[in-house]
Amino acid sequence: MTFGVIVFPGSNRDHDAAYAVSSVLDQKVEIIWHDSPTLGAVDVVILPGGFAYGDYLRCGAIAKFSPVMKAVKKFAADGGLVLGICNGFQILVEAGLLPGALIRNRGLQFICREVDLRPATTNSPFTCAASKDRVYRVPIAHGEGCYFADERTLDELESEDRVAFRYVDNPNGSLRDIAGVLNRERNVMGMMPHPEDATELLMGSTDGLVVFQSLISAAVRA
């Protein structure tokens, strides 16, 4: 299985994602620069966390215009699996691949710590290896991670089982404790917590592996 990791100018978590996939899970990784017009032969695309150029305007507002995003949109439209983490989530929202918006945290402070997550659905390629009865401990590191959407959109996400993860103890004011969402086709997911930084015991938790293990399991069954 081949994971493509997109690198935007300013990204600082792309190597974390690549390491988790290649060194921990022993899967092939292709690093894809943001101005590439194609993705190559990949099975999953990861838009990693960190920062992207133009975030000073609004997170993801400039990165969504990178040439690679046209390829990402086509890949997603064709049913390809796309995972956006933190800044990657912000880019997916700005690009229209996911609903809602990510705004300044409640309290207007950058937050960097571990949080507890509970899967809201296991009916997706990103959560199928998870258990709703378990709490997963994964780090966050963001200043604009508060998930916001109008009431109609929030109701649709819940009625269509498209909330992927919820915070157990909401750290940033996200509406309805939402930490991650899915698109209608369930092949695109964005989440603010960093699963790639919770893949080895040395990191303090291996709970983030469940997202990548879910993707591998889904690919095997496909």
Reading the block at residue 134, the tokens are 């378990």
Q: Which of 59, 86, 114, 144 is catalytic?
A: 86
Helix, strand and coil in the chain, % to nearest 5: 30, 25, 45
Q: For this structure, is 112 an active site residue?
A: no
Among candidate residues 59, 114, 144, 194, the one labeled active-site is 194
Q: Is 196 a catalytic residue?
A: yes
Alpha-carbon distance 64 to 74, whole Å?
14
| Conformation bin of residue 108: beta by default, left when phi > 0, alpha when psi is -120 to 50 | left
Give the whole-angstrom CA distance, residue 3 versus residue 218. Answer: 14
From 37, 114, 128, select the one nearest 81 (Cα to Cα). Answer: 128
**Kind and range of the H or E element at 147?**
strand 146-148
| Catalytic site positions | 86, 194, 196
